[in-house]
Structure 1
Amino acid sequence: MRPISALRAPAVALAGLLMTLALPMGHAQQGGDRPPPEVGVVELETRDVERVTELPGRTAAYQVADIRPQVTGVLRKRRFEAGEKVEKGQTLYEIDPRRYQAAVQRAEAALVQAQARLENLRRKEERYADLVAQNSVSQQEYDDVRANLEEQEAAVQVSRAELATVRLDREYASIDAPIAGRVSQPFITVGELVTANQAEALTRVTRLHPIYVDIQRGAKEVLRLQRAHRRGALETGEEGQPRVEVKLPDGSRHDQAGRLSFSGVNVDEGTGTVTLRATIPNPEGTLLPGMFVRARISEGTNADALLVPQQGVSRNRQGQPTALVVNADDEVERRVLEVDRTHGAFWVVTSGLAAGDRVMVSGLQKANPGDQVKPVAADLPEEAEGDTNG
């Protein structure tokens, strides 16, 4: 029987031979070069970019008129439907006019009576003027007739004023729209008794064309816009005021541009904000009071602007914007940037990059500065309409 050590020796020798044969193959796999990671890049090019400031705002009615009666009476007719457009002067309600018609007739009769008495006193004054000249009547009698004549002339004026007043009351029995606009639902029904200048309105007329957009903005931003307007940097309309376009709540563009006013603004002491007011044409009534919208103010065009996709820009520990760039040797470099504002899905970069630079926008986690990479062209994000204040 062989010793155990004699049996183990051939097995150990065989295992050593196999390891020797396998060693070069293992070293070849470990020492071979890995392929560089694939990263998506965008090659930068300059383009003209419209410089636009977008400001949040809320619409407000141009004019609002609460309709109240100016005379007392029973509502006899309503001449409108809720929500319809009405013109200035259009009749909305009718109050029973019979008492006011009677008052007009009474005042007309009183005026005729006063005028007849005046004519009689005029003839009497003429006769007394001749008689006093002949010393047939005393001067005192003539003076009395003259005084009565002047008093009656004043009475005629009073009668005319009273007639005008009752005629006006008769007109007020027809309640008309003081402005053009859209009428609300009726707040009081036909048949109710209404009183002159009562607190409760009968209905409301709101003028929607044009319409206001009130914009809350910090005083610093308002000063910047004012300076830009003075140096002619803002796009203006026919009246020389900054041109404003409106984006609706659903993101669509309002079909007519308006104008921005800087006059008559005050700084809110509590919030430090200023309310700017834009006037926007609204012939179709698309904009309604209370809507939240965005006002777009054009500040001209940036020529030869560099746009970098936002996913290619990050921040370092100091808060500075940075980007990874693939150089001509396909090595990764980190650049510190200066950015102006956003333009849709892009940053407008003013320093740190140049046209022709290849900026990494995907695969950022695969490489670090100094690494070799395989750049492939990445799809650009869609360019949004206009830009926003950065």
Structure 2
Amino acid sequence: MPTLRCVAWLVLTAPLLAACDRSANAPGGARPPTLVDVEVVQAQVVPNLVELPGRVEAGRSVEVRARADGIIEQQLYVDGTTVAANAPLFQIDPRDLRARLQQANASLASAQAARAQTSALRARLAQLVQRKAVSVQEFESAQAGFRQADAALQEAQAAVARARLQLDHALVRAPIAGRAGRAQVSEGALASAATATLLTRIDQLDPAFVIFNPSHVAMDAMERDVSEGRVVLGPDQRVDVTLLLEGDARPPMVGTLDFSEAAIDPSTGSRVLRARLKNPEGRLLPGQFVRGQLAVGTLRNGMSVPERAVQIGEDESSVMVVTAEGIAQRRPVTLAGQAGGRWIVSAGLAAGDRVVVDGWHKVQPGQPVAINTAPPGKGKAP
């Protein structure tokens, strides 16, 4: 029985003894270097991507204000809905304006009668003055009376036109098509043409504009890169803008830069760039803050690394590089955007650096590593 226990003990401890023997035979008893895949950084032509914060503005925005005096009788649209151009929005009490139009029409009729009378008198005196039956002075006085009556008639006609226009303004219509905001007045409120009472606001959301405010130093640097040939623009000089909308799984929105302000804002030291984007679904709303990625041509000697090689932290982004001594080293990098499954690196790497693409999560900075020289998909460390 004791013999059987000894045999079982030997069977169980044999693998452990063999492992200890292998560890003892390893140089210094250290772990073998971790096998990693690397990519050698090369200077090459890459997209020149610039990320900027921006603010959305409506393509057209109009404040609808009162152009006639009176009490608001009715709101004719629903707050926040899309309205067509010339659609009725508010009805102002038209009774006083109708009375003014009737008064203007009465003054017009009186002016017409006075003009007809002076015209007839001038015609009679014109015949009499030829026969010297009346004096020239009387005829000239009749002519002056006719001209005064004619001027009074024109003034009365203008008063009628103005009164009719005021009556038309009693029905407030949308000057443009777009999304109408909430009403700034309610039924029973007094609208004044003299103070231009604000009634509502209409924003045309398609197209939409995004306003960027880069510093003039950054703008000067970009323009200098283009003028000195480090950045090459396309033949059409177009700058595409891609909006990075957080939490939106739909395809990104792409537009073009259509305006660059030459003046510098003295209060902020910034310049204005404007992008124009199609917004048929209303995904962009006025006042919304977004981030835009501007594709400003291509860099002649840019650098990029695969997306999976980049470690993005809360404070900084970094990659793992392999030194000439075969030691893993963490290297902070500045990213300038993504293109074609790769991160564009604007700072932190140099041509010839060996960046760990696969296996960086298995090593720590300062740890020796071995570079996998097998073709992709073969000979990789498990």
Deviation string 1:35-75 (CA, Å, 9 cap, x unpaired) is: 52224232448787433212111212333333332222222
Deviation of residue 132 (structure 1)?
A: 1.2
Task: Tell me whether 1:310 sits opposite 2:276 in the alignment.
Answer: no
Deviation of residue 248 (structure 1)?
A: 1.7
CA gap of 1:38–1:339, structure 2 versus 1, over 3 A, is: closer
Deviation of residue 366 (structure 1)?
A: 7.3
CA gap of 1:207–1:150, structure 2 versus 1, over 3 A, is: same
Q: Which residue of 1 aligns with 2:15?
A: none
The whole-number CA distance in structure 2 between the counterparts of 1:372 and 1:255 is: 43
Q: Which residue of 2 aligns with 1:66?
A: 63
Q: Which residue of 1 aligns with 2:201?
A: 204
Letter in 1 for 2:93: D
Q: Which residue of 2 aligns with 1:134?
A: 131
The answer to whether the Cα contact below 8 Å between 1:244 and 1:258 also exists between their aligned partners in 2 is: yes
Deviation string 1:117-176 (CA, Å, 9 cap, x unpaired) is: 212322221221221121110111111101101111111111111111101111111111
Report the secondary structure of 1:171's partner residue.
helix
- Return the match for 2:36 from 29, 37, 40: 40
The answer to whether the Cα contact below 8 Å between 1:41 and 1:359 also exists between their aligned partners in 2 is: yes
TM-score normalised according to structure 1 size: 0.72
Q: Which residue of 1 aligns with 2:232?
A: 233
The answer to whether the Cα contact below 8 Å between 2:216 and 2:271 also exists between their aligned partners in 1 is: yes
Task: Tell me whether 1:361 sits opposite 2:360 in the alignment.
Answer: yes
CA gap of 1:206–1:229, structure 2 versus 1, over 3 A, is: farther
The whole-number CA distance in structure 1 between the counterparts of 2:190 and 2:235 is: 53
The whole-number CA distance in structure 1 between the counterparts of 2:332 and 2:117 is: 97
**Which stretch of structure 1 is more off in the superposition, 226-235 or 252-261?**
226-235
Q: Which residue of 2 aligns with 1:165?
A: 162
Task: Tell me whether 1:188 sits opposite 2:175 in the alignment.
Answer: no
| 1:27-176 matched pairs, under 5 angstroms | 32-33=26-27, 34=29, 36-44=32-40, 49-176=46-173
5+ residue gaps, structure 2, are 1-19, 313-318, 378-382
- Percent identity (aligned): 26
- Return the match for 1:278 from 275, 278, 286: 275
CA gap of 1:310–1:374, structure 2 versus 1, over 3 A, is: closer
Q: Which residue of 2 aligns with 1:323?
A: 321
The whole-number CA distance in structure 2 between the counterparts of 1:192 and 1:28 is: 94
**Which stretch of structure 1 is more off in the superposition, 283-292 or 259-268?**
259-268
The answer to whether the Cα contact below 8 Å between 2:63 and 2:198 also exists between their aligned partners in 1 is: yes
CA gap of 1:337–1:256, structure 2 versus 1, over 3 A, is: closer
Report the secondary structure of 1:246's partner residue.
strand
Report the secondary structure of 2:198's partner residue.
coil
TM-score normalised according to structure 2 size: 0.73
The answer to whether the Cα contact below 8 Å between 2:129 and 2:136 also exists between their aligned partners in 1 is: yes
Deviation string 1:60-103 (CA, Å, 9 cap, x unpaired) is: 23333333322222222221001111122211011121222232
5+ residue gaps, structure 1, are 1-25, 313-320, 381-390
Deviation string 1:292-319 (CA, Å, 9 cap, x unpaired) is: 211121133458955263359xxxxxxx
The answer to whether the Cα contact below 8 Å between 2:40 and 2:355 also exists between their aligned partners in 1 is: yes
The answer to whether the Cα contact below 8 Å between 2:37 and 2:356 also exists between their aligned partners in 1 is: no
**Which stretch of structure 1 is more off in the superposition, 191-200 or 153-162?**
191-200
The whole-number CA distance in structure 2 between the counterparts of 1:119 and 1:88 is: 44
The answer to whether the Cα contact below 8 Å between 1:37 and 1:374 also exists between their aligned partners in 2 is: no
The answer to whether the Cα contact below 8 Å between 1:306 and 1:350 also exists between their aligned partners in 2 is: no
Report the secondary structure of 1:151's partner residue.
helix
Q: Which residue of 2 aligns with 1:262?
A: 260
Q: Which residue of 1 aligns with 2:14?
A: none
Deviation of residue 200 (structure 1)?
A: 4.9
Letter in 2 for 1:96: D
The whole-number CA distance in structure 1 between the counterparts of 2:351 and 2:224 is: 28
The answer to whether the Cα contact below 8 Å between 1:367 and 1:373 also exists between their aligned partners in 2 is: no
The answer to whether the Cα contact below 8 Å between 2:76 and 2:89 also exists between their aligned partners in 1 is: yes
CA gap of 1:197–1:28, structure 2 versus 1, over 3 A, is: closer
Report the secondary structure of 1:185's partner residue.
coil
Task: Tell me whether 1:291 sits opposite 2:291 in the alignment.
Answer: no
The whole-number CA distance in structure 1 between the counterparts of 2:205 and 2:78 is: 17
The answer to whether the Cα contact below 8 Å between 1:42 and 1:361 also exists between their aligned partners in 2 is: no
Letter in 1 for 2:326: V
The answer to whether the Cα contact below 8 Å between 2:71 and 2:190 also exists between their aligned partners in 1 is: yes
- Return the match for 1:179 from 165, 176, 179: 176
Deviation of residue 182 (structure 1)?
A: 0.9
The answer to whether the Cα contact below 8 Å between 1:184 and 1:204 also exists between their aligned partners in 2 is: yes
**Which stretch of structure 1 is more off in the superposition, 245-254 or 166-175?**
245-254
The answer to whether the Cα contact below 8 Å between 1:246 and 1:254 also exists between their aligned partners in 2 is: yes
CA gap of 1:355–1:216, structure 2 versus 1, over 3 A, is: same
Report the number of matched residues. 339
